[in-house]
């Protein structure tokens, strides 16, 4: 028969407290059986079940959030890896001299590069079938056309904005007249060199070489060479070619000068740009884009619409002619080949001399503008260029009327 246990022998477990309180009661019962007096007191604070549940679930929530964040980051980097990589590339040109080859960091250009890379068929061997490697991935041609159009529009806008920004930046310093005289001399000499209508460039060439104590061959039919020598030698303004005349220290017993004519970076960029636009139909998309760009540039000089059409057609004709005759100087940049290319260009030009010089000036306007500071460009725009170029247009028109 079992003896009834006293009330002190059995303690009911607490209603709340969880595993910790149960463990404390068990320890207290064990110590009382051994003769120790134990008194359990209720704590002065405790966590309710809701807070304990939230506290225990917090690490799980943090872990899930971290996994979702890392997964989304990896997914974004994989999906847009080309655009993210393109945004970190270095811009290779600070000036938008040309509409296409000036280093484009716009989003349209980045998307264009990303689409080109994504649509490459990497399963094809480019050494065996290069066409399949590049073009097999294009399932939707309209996507390619839309991306290319957006990239070209962005680059054209960037080129024109760079010119207008240079004018506006210079306008802020219009009160500073310290270098106005030097700028006027620069531009006046440049336009004067383009306006001269000498029938024979031999006298100009001989006078230039005599002033610099150099010898030169007796005959020279190149009218373009006088322009290059005058601008590069007297005014340090290089257009298509850099002309350097120096004595060769390696020729023993000879003090003959060695002319060195090499294509400039501007000429290489111009050739590359013209190759994109030429060779297409007259009313094609690229031809219309180029005409639109030239027409907007002519508005900076306040040129009328009828004269703009004539100038645009003349520029396209001269560009095709120059590209066909001067492109050889890029593939083999030797002085003899460069001189031959200039000679061929001068002999095959059927346009009037001032028109040819006009095209040379306009095509390279953004090139020689780099030689001036933004303030100089603004001074040219405000005080000099409008009047001089207006006179130049009038001289070209009058010469053309006399020739017809």
Per-residue pLDDT reduced to its tens digit, 144-189: 666 666 666 666 666 566 556 655 555 554 444 444 445 556 555 5
Angstrom distance (rounded) from CA 52 to CA 249 = 91
What pLDDT, on a 0 to 100 scale, did the predictor assign at position 63?
87
3-class secondary-structure state, position 242: strand
Nearest to 160 by CA among 316, 313, 366: 366
Which residues, including other chains, have CB under 8 Å from residue 84's CB and lie 6 or more apart?
77
Nearest to 172 by CA among 390, 375, 24: 375
Percentage of the residues of the chain whose pLDDT score is greater than 70: 17
Nearest to 155 by CA among 238, 91, 240, 80: 91
Q: Which two tokens stand for residue 103?
A: 């280093």
What pLDDT, on a 0 to 100 scale, did the predictor assign at position 284?
74
Question: Given a cut of 50, is residue 94 above it in pLDDT?
Answer: no
Contact between residue 384 and residue 177 where contact means Cβ atoms under 8 Å apart? no
Angstrom distance (rounded) from CA 316 to CA 277 = 10
Angstrom distance (rounded) from CA 72 to CA 68 = 6
pTM exceeding the 0.75 threshold for the entire prediction: no
Within 13 Å, how many C-alpha atoms sit on residue 375's CB side?
A: 12
Question: Given a cut of 80, is residue 72 above it in pLDDT?
Answer: yes
What pLDDT, on a 0 to 100 scale, did the predictor assign at position 24?
62
Provide DSSP, 82-131. Answer: HHHHHHTSPP--SS--SSSSS---SHHHHHHHHHHHHT--TTS-TTT-HH
Q: Which two tokens stand for residue 149?
A: 């159009």
Nearest to 119 by CA among 89, 140, 88: 140
Per-residue pLDDT reduced to its tens digit, 254-265: 555 555 656 666
What pLDDT, on a 0 to 100 scale, did the predictor assign at position 285?
74
Question: Given a cut of 80, is residue 233 above it in pLDDT?
Answer: no
């Amino acid at each position: 028969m079992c003896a009834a246990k006293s009330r002190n022998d059995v303690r009911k477990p607490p209603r709340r407290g969880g595993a910790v309180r149960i463990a404390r009661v068990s320890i207290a019962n064990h110590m009382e059986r051994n003769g120790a007096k134990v008194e359990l007191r209720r704590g002065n604070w405790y966590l309710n079940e809701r807070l304990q549940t939230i506290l225990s679930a917090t690490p799980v929530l943090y872990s899930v959030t971290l996994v979702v964040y890392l997964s989304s980051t990896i997914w974004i980097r994989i999906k847009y890896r080309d655009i993210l990589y393109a945004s970190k590339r270095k811009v290779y040109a600070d000036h938008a001299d040309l509409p296409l080859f000036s280093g484009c960091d716009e989003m349209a250009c980045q998307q264009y590069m990303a689409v080109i890379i994504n649509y490459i068929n990497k399963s094809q061997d480019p050494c065996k079938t290069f066409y399949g490697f590049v073009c097999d991935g294009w399932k939707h041609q309209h996507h390619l056309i839309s991306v290319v159009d957006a990239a070209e529009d962005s680059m054209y806008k960037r080129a024109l904005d760079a010119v207008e920004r240079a004018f506006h930046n210079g306008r802020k310093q219009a009160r500073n007249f310290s270098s106005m005289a030097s700028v006027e001399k620069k531009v006046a000499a440049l336009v004067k060199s383009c306006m001269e209508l000498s029938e024979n460039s031999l006298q100009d060439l001989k006078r230039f070489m005599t002033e610099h104590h150099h010898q030169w061959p007796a005959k020279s039919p190149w009218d373009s060479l006088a322009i290059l020598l005058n601008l590069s030698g007297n005014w340090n303004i290089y257009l298509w070619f850099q002309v350097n005349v120096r004595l060769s220290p390696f020729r023993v017993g000879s003090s003959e000068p060695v002319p060195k004519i090499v294509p400039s970076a501007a000429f290489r960029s111009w050739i590359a740009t013209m190759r994109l636009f030429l060779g297409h139909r007259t009313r094609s998309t690229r031809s219309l884009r180029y005409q639109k760009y030239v027409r907007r540039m002519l508005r900076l000089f306040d040129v009328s619409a009828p004269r703009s059409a004539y100038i645009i057609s003349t520029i396209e004709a001269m560009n095709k002619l120059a590209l066909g005759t001067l492109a050889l100087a890029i593939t083999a940049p030797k002085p003899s080949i460069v001189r031959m290319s200039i000679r061929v260009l001068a002999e095959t030009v059927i346009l009037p001399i001032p028109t040819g010089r006009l095209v040379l000036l306009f095509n390279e306007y953004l090139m020689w503008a780099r030689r001036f500071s933004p303030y100089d460009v603004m001074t040219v725009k405000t005080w000099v260029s409008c009047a001089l170029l207006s006179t130049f247009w009038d001289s070209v028109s009058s010469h053309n009327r006399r020739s017809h």
